[in-house]
């Protein structure tokens, strides 16, 4: 990570989140298709933080495994409050002399625009600290922001420590701050934990900075819902609704038609081209890119896939695959990982394809399983065709060259190659290579036993 950063995001993510009733760290619970802490980090980067430090504790290895080397880590082995969490980053920031943006890892609704506003106000006022606040008609449960007549923040009082007069204040602390790094750690060294929780409150830093005559400001969030911390499954569901609404609105504003937005679920990282139409009851998830002028759905699920322009994909499940321009897929198709369907291909009616390539204009119209296969261009696969790829110990590949015609109810027992322009007779079980332009026939000779039913009856 660069040591020349002017703003560092310090994300507090060490807590267990007991109200989630989960073995998974709270900040890793997915919302809008990403772990909630990933949303926070993305917003911080949008605000100009080119370096991020995440404070981890509960299930620290799980957080590391998820975020990998995209961030730096410090460990809070004992949770003694927000101030204590920030202190863990002191050594990592000993050579830093810019702005520290302190964020909570459980606020996935926070936008980059709000953080930009916070950071700009902090710099404009040359403040030692700037806190993001919100005004609530019912502030119960939140720390109250106490200002003087000039608007300077005097202190933040936690609900359990507030007087009756302070409890009447409706401006609350969101737990999101910008600090001068030097001023932050200087003030942290002076605070204790003589409070109802017995913890080191980061909020006490503001009061300490005031005692030192420093500037402490506040910025009111335009939309309180952005700052909402997720502490339960109910709140997780509420955040999911908000994020999905944002995504659907963004897609429609970019030229995508959603025929019934409420029944269409699109993850945050999905990209969809203009003039594509998404039909009801469709899920588009993960790292999925869909081109323009496509028709997707209804009743379709796509995960981590590349869908090129002009694709029709309906009543199907496609994941970790690529579908070429002009392809038609469905209904009732399963496209499995490592499959590449070429341009203008057709796959439909109860077909499963796995770890295979299907060349330009080839067709697998119905009732087939194609596994571990390399298929050329212009191939026609008859109904009921199976590429038999597993011998009980290992998987083997089938190679079907260009312009092959495979008759109905055929088994191609891999490893096997069917040469260019060859034909396979219906009902064949092919166990040997078929030369180019040959006819492959492999079926038992028909035998009719006369009057068999009469004899059986007797």
pLDDT tens, position by position, 7-57:
999 999 998 889 999 999 999 999 999 999 999 999 999 999 999 999 999
What pLDDT is recorded for position 457? 79
- DSSP code string of 406-451: E-SS-EEESSEEE-TT-EE-TT-EE-S-B-TT-EE---PPP---TT
pLDDT tens, position by position, 338-353:
999 999 999 999 999 9
Instruction: Say which CATH topology domain 7-227 has.
Output: Spore Coat Polysaccharide Biosynthesis Protein SpsA; Chain A (3.90.550)
CA distance 177 to 133: 9
Q: pTM of the predicted model, to two decimals? A: 0.91
Listed in order, the ranges of the chain carrying CATH 3.90.550.10 are 7-227
What pLDDT is recorded for position 192? 83
Closest CA to 354 of 325, 311, 315, 320: 320
CA distance 271 to 320: 15
What pLDDT is recorded for position 3? 46
HSE-up (13 A, CA, CB side) for residue 395: 9
Q: What residue ranges of the chain have pLDDT lower than 70?
A: 1-4, 196, 458
What pLDDT is recorded for position 4? 55
Which residues does the annotation mark as catalytic?
366
Listed in order, the ranges of the chain carrying CATH 2.160.10.10 are 254-440
Specify the CATH architecture of the domain 254-440.
3 Solenoid (2.160)
Residue 307, both tokens:
């869908």
What pLDDT is recorded for position 1? 38
């Amino acid at each position: 990570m660069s040591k020349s950063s002017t703003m560092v995001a310090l994300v507090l993510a060490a807590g267990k989140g007991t109200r989630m009733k989960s073995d998974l760290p709270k900040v890793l619970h997915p919302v809008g298709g990403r772990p909630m802490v990933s949303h926070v980090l993305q917003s911080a980067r949008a605000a100009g933080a080119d370096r991020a430090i995440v404070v981890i504790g509960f299930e620290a290895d799980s957080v590391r495994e998820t975020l990998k080397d995209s961030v730096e880590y410090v460990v809070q082995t004992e949770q003694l409050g927000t101030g204590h969490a920030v202190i863990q980053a002191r050594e990592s920031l000993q050579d830093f002399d810019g702005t520290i943006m302190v964020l909570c890892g459980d606020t996935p609704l926070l936008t980059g625009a709000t953080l930009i506003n916070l950071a700009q106000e902090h710099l404009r006022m040359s403040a030692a600290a700037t806190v993001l606040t919100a005004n609530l008609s019912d502030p119960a449960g939140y720390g109250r922001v106490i200002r003087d007549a000039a608007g300077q923040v005097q202190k933040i009082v936690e609900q359990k420590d507030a007087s009756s007069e302070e409890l009447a204040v409706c401006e609350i602390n969101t737990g999101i701050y910008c600090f001068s790094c030097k001023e932050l750690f200087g003030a942290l060294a002076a605070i204790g934990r003589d409070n109802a929780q017995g913890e080191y409150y980061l909020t006490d830093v503001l009061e300490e900075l005031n005692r030192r005559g420093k500037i402490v400001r506040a910025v009111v969030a335009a939309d309180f819902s952005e700052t909402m911390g997720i502490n339960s499954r109910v709140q997780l569901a509420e955040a999911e609704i908000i994020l999905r609404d944002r995504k659907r609105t963004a897609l429609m504003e970019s030229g995508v038609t959603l025929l019934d937005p409420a029944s269409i679920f699109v993850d945050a990282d999905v990209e969809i081209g203009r003039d594509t139409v998404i039909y009801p009851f469709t899920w588009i998830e993960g790292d999925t890119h869909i081109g323009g002028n496509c028709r997707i759905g209804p009743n379709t699920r796509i995960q981590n896939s590349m869908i090129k322009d002009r694709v029709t994909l309906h009543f199907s499940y496609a994941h970790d695959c690529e579908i070429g321009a002009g392809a038609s897929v469905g209904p009732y198709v399963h496209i499995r990982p490592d499959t590449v369907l070429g341009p203008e291909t057709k796959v439909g009616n109860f077909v499963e394809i796995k770890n295979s390539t299907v060349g330009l204009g080839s067709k697998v119209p119905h009732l087939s399983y194609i596994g571990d296969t390399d298929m050329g261009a212009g191939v026609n696969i008859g109904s009921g065709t199976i590429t038999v790829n597993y011998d009980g110990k290992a998987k083997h590949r089938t190679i079907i060259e260009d312009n092959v015609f495979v008759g109905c109810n055929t088994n191609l027992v891999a490893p096997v190659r069917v040469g260019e322009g060859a034909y396979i007779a219906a009902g064949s079980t092919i166990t040997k290579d078929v030369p180019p332009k040959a006819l492959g026939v492999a079926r038992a000779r028909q035998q009719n036993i006369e009057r068999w039913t009469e004899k059986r009856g007797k």
